[in-house]
Homo-oligomer: A and B are copies of this chain.
Amino acid sequence: MIKYAIPKKVKKEKTHINYSNRGMVFEEAINNTNEYYRNIDKALIHKKPTPIHIVKIDNSNNHARICDAYFEQPSTTDYNGIYKGHYIDFEAKETRNKTSFPLRNINEHQVKHLLKVQEMGGISFVLMHFILHDEIYLVDSSLVGKYYYSDKTKSIPYQVIKSKGHKVPYGYLAEIDYLKVVDQVYLNE
């Protein structure tokens, strides 16, 4: 009698990933999306490395090893690149808050940078992930700037984002298909 192996739990097909409770997964999904965009020559968008101040390097072995360093505040956003000839620049943030999106995590350098990009003729926005709603919105920099500088609580109400932001669809290969929204919002396509 042949002893059959007990089948392992069948992997769910990747159609829609639930991003709640998954920490770094949002960033990973954006990176995967950008990699997909690059692979199909749709856009050339990269995450910038995290800025670090190096204090001490150990050269005692063959390779330089950083043995003391600390994180620096970024002066620009995390993502930039080129799409259909346009300069694209954005930041990605998430919150567990259900009723509003806090802007505290975005520093003022970054907000100024986003606004400056638009003045220069580029496209800039913030991708906001409401973890508990499992919804992602593309929010134009002008709206971010408005609330950043005028709202006492430095946050944008969920209802405002729902009506003035643009929901980003989940995709299969482009997990977070934000360029679809960029087409509609900025390029009238």
Task: Enumerate chain A interface residues (CB-CB to B < 8 A).
Answer: 41, 43-44, 46, 48-52, 63-72, 75-76, 80-87, 89, 113, 116-117, 119-122
Please indicate which of the listed interface residues A63, A65, A76, A87 has the most CB atoms of chain B within 10 Å of its own CB: A87
Given A52-B69, A65-B70, list of 19 further CB < 8 A pairs?
Answer: A41-B116, A44-B116, A44-B117, A49-B50, A63-B70, A64-B70, A64-B71, A65-B68, A66-B66, A66-B68, A66-B70, A67-B68, A69-B69, A82-B120, A82-B122, A83-B120, A85-B87, A85-B120, A85-B121
CA distance A49 to B145 in the complex (A): 25
Task: Please give me the residue from chain B that is nearest to A88 by CB atom.
Answer: B87
Q: How many of these chains are in the complex?
A: 2
* Bound CA–CA A87/B86 (angstroms): 7
Cβ of B71 and Cβ of A66 under 8 Å apart? Answer: yes
Whether A121 touches B52, Cβ cut-off 8 Å, given contacts A64-B71, A113-B44, is no
Contact at A49–B51, with CB atoms within 8 Å?
yes
Q: Which residue of chain B lies nearest to A82 when distances are taken between CB atoms in the complex?
A: B87
Contact B70 A52 (CB under 8 A): no
